[in-house]
């Protein structure tokens, strides 16, 4: 995930770059969400994707417990902390919990508990989450994680779908009945298979493409709600 930089630092990054890298810098400089991320102190423009989805579907509520998968650098966790009141900013509202997981380092964030160098597919990670979460369960699982792109679209699509499928195993361990899962995927031939798998354990599954997702991107999100539990 590429994240927000100041305009000055972006301009400096053009020096000695390839034409493709220079085009990316120019796109960042013109992107209103990048500018808004900087002015509103979000770590990445991706924060606005979650803000938009939550404004529309009210996924995150004060007092909720949230697991943020692929959390680095922490933009979605920033949104979750605000929405579930996990930093206790509003003393009149219930206080939630946000736990972020990533293989990468995640800079500290007030109101969030981060588990860097953790694999979301590892049973040891599942056990650690159960120990940290209230009653061992979460109301919401978020995932904006993605594999490092290889440049081969079908391969990247397949790898991301596999990562999303692993979230169903995580849900079996930590998601409350009636809970929700929001996961990013790249559109492709296996998207239907992923949707079917989600539909087998959630009562409602819909596709969402927020305005903050670039129009030329294959990026989509599945929003799965009303978790029913695993089907044996």
Domain assignment present for 172: yes
Mean pLDDT for all residues in the chain: 89
Residue 1: which pLDDT band, with cuts at 50, 70 and 90? very low
Given a contact cutoff of 8 angstroms between Cβ atoms, the answer to whether 66 and 99 are in contact is: yes
Domain assignment present for 75: yes
Residue-range definition of the domain harbouring residue 137: 45-227
pLDDT tens per residue, range 100-159 = 999 999 999 999 999 999 999 999 999 999 999 999 999 999 999 999 989 899 999 999
At 220, which CATH number? 3.40.50.150
* DSSP 3-state of 153: helix
Q: CA-to-CA distance for 119 and 166, rounded, in angstroms?
A: 11
Answer whether 0.75 is exceeded by the pTM: yes
Catalytic residues: 184
Among 28-37, 52-61, 95-104, 178-187, the minimum mean pLDDT is found in 28-37
Give φ, ψ of 26 to 5 degrees: -65, -40
Question: Count of domains in the chain?
Answer: 1
Domain assignment present for 194: yes
Domain assignment present for 9: no
Neighbour-count burial of 192, counting CB atoms closer than 10 A to its CB (0-12 exposed, 13-18 middle, 19+ buried): exposed
pLDDT tens per residue, range 8-51 = 454 455 566 676 555 545 555 455 556 655 657 788 999 999 99
Domain assignment present for 17: no
């Amino acid at each position: 995930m590429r994240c927000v930089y100041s305009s000055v630092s972006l301009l400096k990054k053009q020096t000695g770059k390839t034409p493709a890298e220079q085009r990316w810098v120019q796109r960042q400089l013109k992107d209103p969400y990048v500018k808004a991320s900087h002015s509103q102190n979000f770590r990445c423009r991706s924060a606005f994707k979650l803000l938009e989805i939550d404004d529309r579907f009210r996924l995150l509520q004060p007092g909720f417990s949230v697991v943020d998968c692929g959390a680095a650098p922490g933009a979605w966790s920033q949104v979750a902390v605000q929405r579930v009141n996990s930093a206790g900013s509003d003393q009149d509202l219930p206080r939630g919990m946000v736990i972020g997981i990533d293989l990468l380092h995640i800079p500290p964030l007030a109101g969030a508990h981060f588990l860097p160098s953790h694999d979301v597919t590892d049973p040891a990670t599942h056990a650690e989450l159960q120990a940290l979460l209230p009653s061992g369960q979460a109301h919401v699982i978020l995932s904006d994680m993605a594999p490092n792109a290889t440049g081969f679209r079908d391969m990247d699509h397949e790898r991301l779908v596999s990562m999303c499928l692993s979230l169903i195993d995580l849900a079996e361990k930590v998601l409350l009945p009636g809970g929700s899962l929001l996961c990013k995927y790249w559109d492709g031939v296996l998207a239907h298979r992923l949707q079917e798998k989600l539909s087998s354990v959630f009562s409602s599954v819909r596709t969402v493409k927020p305005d903050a997702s670039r129009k030329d991107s294959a990026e989509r999100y599945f929003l799965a709600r009303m978790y029913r539990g695993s089907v044996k």
